[in-house]
Amino acid sequence: MDRISGLPDEILVKIMSLAPTKAAVSTSILSKRWEFLWMWLTKLEFGDELYSESEFKSLQCFLDRNLPLHRAPVIESFRLELSGLYFKPEDIRMWVVVVVSRYIRELEIYCPEKQHILPSSLYTCKSLVILKLDGGIILDVPPMVCLPSLRTLELKGVRVFSDASLQRLLSNCPVLEDLVVNLYHHDNTLKLTIIFPSLHRLSLYIGYTCDVDEFVIDTPSLEYFKLEDRNYDSHPCLIENMPKLTVAYVDVRSTDLQSLIGSITSVKYLTISSKAMFGDGFIFNHLEHLTLRVWDDYPWNVLVQVLKDSPNLRELSCLSEMNDHHQNFGLFLWDQPSTVPECMLSSLQKFTWTEYLGRPEDRDIAVYILKNACRLRTATIDSDTRLFTKLEMITELTRSSRASTTCELIFY
């Protein structure tokens, strides 16, 4: 310990920064010299555990007393996770005011139990680069908003005060690159407009009970797009201008997908969980890796259309997501096509089926792919069925003909 104490303060602070904040603070009891060293830390993290009333009171007093006196001129990051019922909204507002005054660069707040409004000074913080809000936060954005450095914004489960409030925030982040918006509930009908020339990554989750009237997306620099729309009510969807899109994940309940499909045709990696994604004349010339999440009533004729629309596909993965009480049901609408899609003749090299059930329709589809994929290198079948049934599956597929003489059939 004496050897460590002989190091310069700057080195000691760097060493302390590698430990959790709670452990770093505990070093203050070692000696007079160590008493305030932790107050030079630029990364602070509090919470990540359930507090009793007395434990939270202790944390509250600690932050009230020490945070305003923190010695680091710049706080790089401040993470606060409070899962208990004992904090007061005004406490969080005060702590945020303090860290904003210290040129905070990364702020993360998770407080699910109580609703609270963050201070207006947060929305004019010029140094803020990353902002992550999760839980019972009411997004009441003031008229004056300016976040010129913000590059990452995550809003998960927050209560949106109004359309205007959300749009004020989104329209005043000129260099935003990564946006996550998870809407679980909303008291009023919401119109979501996302227009960002700079945005590279976008993830949207619209919950079952979230009433979205429409959403508009115009993001010409987007490279990654994830859309989970669990609301069954149809709402207009205008999505355009995604020429650089490489990766997309689409899980939607609505069938109004024309603008969505037309906007993601540049992707190389695509995961879909929708029955109405293909068949409208859109060609995915760049698509190389496709994952289909398959539900119990999936119309399997869509698979052939998918393959026809993806002439350069290299990898195909099917993931069956069916409840136990559906396992004896047949899959819907599988008629072996009269022609073979181009990708099966020239480019498909890898086929994977996870949670394969081995029903007649499953078998027919797997056999069709093995029989016609001329360049196939590996076909992997993953099944959790009983051993005897699994042996029957293996026998059936092993005996089926294969267009590729070098194809390796793998079972798990």
Residue 57 has pLDDT above 90, yes or no: no
Q: Which helix (H) or strand (E) element contains residue 90?
A: helix 89-101
User: What average pLDDT does this structure show over 242-271?
Assistant: 85
CA dist., res. 163 & res. 140, Å (int): 10
Q: 């119109």: which residue's tokens?
A: 191
With CA atoms as reference, report the closest residue to 319 among 271, 283, 257, 284: 271
Q: What is the pLDDT of residues 18-54, one digit of tens each?
A: 666 676 666 655 555 566 677 788 889 887 665 677 8
Residue 330 has pLDDT above 50, yes or no: no
CA dist., res. 89 & res. 359, Å (int): 56
Q: What is the pTM of this model?
A: 0.86
Q: How many CB atoms lie within 10 A of CB 3?
A: 6
Strands 152-156 and 159-160: unpaired
Q: 């999936």: which residue's tokens?
A: 298
Residue 4: pLDDT band (50, 70, 90) is: low
Ranges 108-117, 195-204, 378-387, most confident: 195-204
Which amino acid, one-letter code, is at 404?
A: S
CA dist., res. 238 & res. 259, Å (int): 6
* Proportion of the chain in helix, strand, coil states, percent, rounded to 5: 30, 30, 45
Ramachandran angles phi, psi of 394, nearest 5°: -60, -45
Q: How many CB atoms lie within 10 A of CB 51?
A: 18
Q: Which helix (H) or strand (E) element contains residue 153?
A: strand 152-156
Q: 321 CB contacts (<8 Å, ≥6 apart)?
A: 273, 293, 294, 295, 355
- pLDDT of amino acid 233: 73
Residue 258 has pLDDT above 80, yes or no: no
Which amino acid, one-letter code, is at 208?
A: Y
- pLDDT of amino acid 25: 67
Residue 297: pLDDT band (50, 70, 90) is: low
- pLDDT of amino acid 296: 63
User: What average pLDDT does this structure show over 263-270?
Assistant: 93
Residue 326 has pLDDT above 50, yes or no: no
User: What average pLDDT does this structure show over 321-330?
Assistant: 52
Share of the chain above pLDDT 70, in %: 80
More confident residue, 409 or 259: 409
CA dist., res. 4 & res. 350, Å (int): 55
Residue 325 has pLDDT above 50, yes or no: no
Residue 279 has pLDDT above 80, yes or no: no
More confident residue, 380 or 335: 380
Residue 267: pLDDT band (50, 70, 90) is: very high
Q: What's the mean per-residue pLDDT of the chain?
A: 84
- pLDDT of amino acid 362: 85
User: What average pLDDT does this structure show over 271-280?
Assistant: 69
User: What average pLDDT does this structure show over 52-76?
Assistant: 86
Q: What is the pLDDT of residues 168-216, one digit of tens each?
A: 999 999 999 999 999 886 655 678 889 999 999 999 998 887 777 788 8
- pLDDT of amino acid 93: 93
- pLDDT of amino acid 273: 81
Ramachandran angles phi, psi of 345, nearest 5°: -85, -30
Q: How many CB atoms lie within 10 A of CB 404?
A: 18
The CA-based angle 13-150-188, given to 5 degrees, is 125
Q: 């029957």: which residue's tokens?
A: 392
Three-class DSSP category at 280: coil
With CA atoms as reference, report the closest residue to 107 among 56, 43, 159, 47: 43
128 in Cβ contact with 147 (< 8 Å): yes
Q: How many CB atoms lie within 10 A of CB 111?
A: 21
Lowest mean pLDDT across 24-38, 140-154, 230-244, 392-406: 24-38
Residue 329 has pLDDT above 50, yes or no: no
- pLDDT of amino acid 75: 92
202 in Cβ contact with 222 (< 8 Å): yes
User: What average pLDDT does this structure show over 234-255?
Assistant: 83
Bridge partner list, 293? 319
Lowest mean pLDDT across 60-64, 265-269, 344-348, 367-371: 60-64
CA dist., res. 13 & res. 393, Å (int): 61
Domain ranges of the chain: 1-41, 44-176, 183-267, 275-412
User: What average pLDDT does this structure show over 97-103?
Assistant: 95
Q: Where are the alpha helices (DSSP H) in 158-292?
A: 163-170, 258-263
Q: How many CB atoms lie within 10 A of CB 69?
A: 9
Three-class DSSP category at 110: strand
With CA atoms as reference, report the closest residue to 322 among 274, 357, 369, 367: 357
- pLDDT of amino acid 282: 84
Strands 201-209 and 224-229: parallel
- pLDDT of amino acid 99: 96
* Cα dist from 100 to 40, 63, 103, 306, 313, whole Å: 16, 15, 5, 50, 49
